[in-house]
Structure 1
C-alpha cells in the first residue's frame, strides 16, 4: 500500500501528465489516502479533468476538491447568453421532447439542471456536454430519472450485468434494491471497477439513484 507521500508524488505527476490541466497552479495534499486538490483553474472542464486525473492514480481512496474556477476575461459571458447556449446544446443533443423536460438555471456562470429524463446516460450526458462550454464555471446536475422499472427483476438483472463485465470478482459486489434506488456494497480492486459496477446499475431503466458503498481493496 502506498504511503501518503508517495500518493502525493504520483498525483502531482499525473496532473503534470494531463495536457488539459495547468498542474503548477494546483496543490495536492494527501491524508490517509484521501487526496485534496486546491488552487485555481481556468474553466469547469479543467477542474473536471484535474479530478479525473487524480482519480486515475492507484491507491487513491477518495478525492475532495477545493479548486476555484477563475475565468479569463476573454471567456466571461453573461448568464443569459450562457443559458441560451445551454438550451441550444440540449435541443441538439436530444429530441425536442426530452430537451424540454430539462430545466436550466444559470447564476454567476454556474449552470443548474433540473427536470427528469428516462435514462441515466441522458442525465450524465446533459452535464458532460456543458462542461466545456465557454463561460461556464460549474455544473450542478439535479436531473432525476423518471421511474419505469419493475423492482423485483432489478437485483438479478444487475447481478447478471456485473458478471458480464470486467470486474475481477463480481461476487464481492452486493446489490440491494429499494423501490427505484440501488445500493452497491462490497469491494472492488480499482476506480475503473467501481465505475463499471455503478454504470451497470445505472444501465437499468428507471433507476433513479445509485448509492455507492463499495470500498477499494488494492
Structure 2
C-alpha cells in the first residue's frame, strides 16, 4: 500500500512523463489515496490528458479536479465559431448517424445532446470535438437508446467479462434495470475496472453504467 507521499510523487512523475501536459503548471495533493489536481492549463484537452495520466497511477482511489482552462489570445474563439466547427466535424464522423447530435456552446463550454444506439457512438462524438480550438469543456448529454431486453443485456455483459477477464468476472456482479447497468464487486486495478465498465458500455442498449465496484490492491 502506497503512502500519500509516495502516491503524490508517482502522480507528479506520470504528469511529467505525459507529453501533452505541462506538469509544472499542475499541483498535486493527496489525502487518504484521493488525488486532487489543481492549477491552470492552456486547453481543455490538456486538462483531459492530465486527468487520464493521474488515473493510470496504481493506488489512486479517487480523483478530484480543481484545474481551470485559461486560453491564450490565439486560442480564443467565439461560441458561434466553435459551434460551427463542432457541427462540421460531427457531420464528418463516420460512426455517427447524420444529424443525430445537437450542439450548444456557451463561454467555450460545449454541450452535446441527441440520441444514438451505441455507447461507442456517444464516445466518438465527444472525442471528435475535444480537440477543437477554443473549447474549455465538453458536457456529453447524448443518450443511448435502449434496444434490448434487460435479460439479454445482462447476459451479454457477463459473457464479455468472462471472455476478457475470467478471474475478475467471478468477482463482479451485474445488475440491469431497464437500460441502466450497475456493476459491483471487487477489482484489483484501474485497468480491470475500466475493462468491466467498457464491457458494460459495449453492449447494445445500455444507457447508463453505475460503477459501485471496490478497488482492492
Question: Aligning the two structures, in what range does the TM-score lie when normalised by the shorter sequence?
Answer: over 0.9
Displaced runs of 4 or more, over 3 A = none
Distance 1:24 1:95 in 2: 37
Provide the TM-score with structure 2 as the length reference. 0.97
Provide the TM-score with structure 1 as the length reference. 0.97
1:99-138 to 2 correspondence within 5 Å?
99-138=98-137
Q: Residue by residue, what CA displacement relative to the aligned partner does 1:86-141 show, whole Å, maximum 9, x if unpaired?
A: 00010000377x24121100011110001111100000111111111111111000
Change (3 A) 1:110 1:72: same
Residues 1:207 and 2:206 are matched in the alignment: yes
SS in 2 for 1:214: strand
Task: Specify every segment of 5 or more residues in structure 2 that has no aligned partner in the other structure, as ranges.
Answer: none
Displacement after TM superposition at 1:166 (Å): 3.5
Q: Residue by residue, what CA displacement relative to the aligned partner does 1:52-85 show, whole Å, maximum 9, x if unpaired?
A: 0000000001101010000111111110000000
8 Å CA contact retained: 1:167, 1:188: no
Residues 1:32 and 2:32 are matched in the alignment: yes
Distance 1:167 1:4 in 2: 32
Distance 1:205 1:157 in 2: 9
Distance 2:142 2:98 in 1: 12
Distance 2:155 2:126 in 1: 30
Residue 79 of structure 2 corresponds to which residue in structure 1? 79
Distance 2:188 2:201 in 1: 20
8 Å CA contact retained: 1:40, 1:70: yes
Task: Specify every segment of 5 or more residues in structure 1 that has no aligned partner in the other structure, as ranges.
Answer: none
Residue 142 of structure 1 corresponds to which residue in structure 2? 141
Displacement after TM superposition at 1:168 (Å): 4.2
User: Superposition RMSD on alpha carbons, in Å?
Assistant: 1.2
SS in 1 for 2:112: strand
Distance 1:57 1:94 in 2: 33
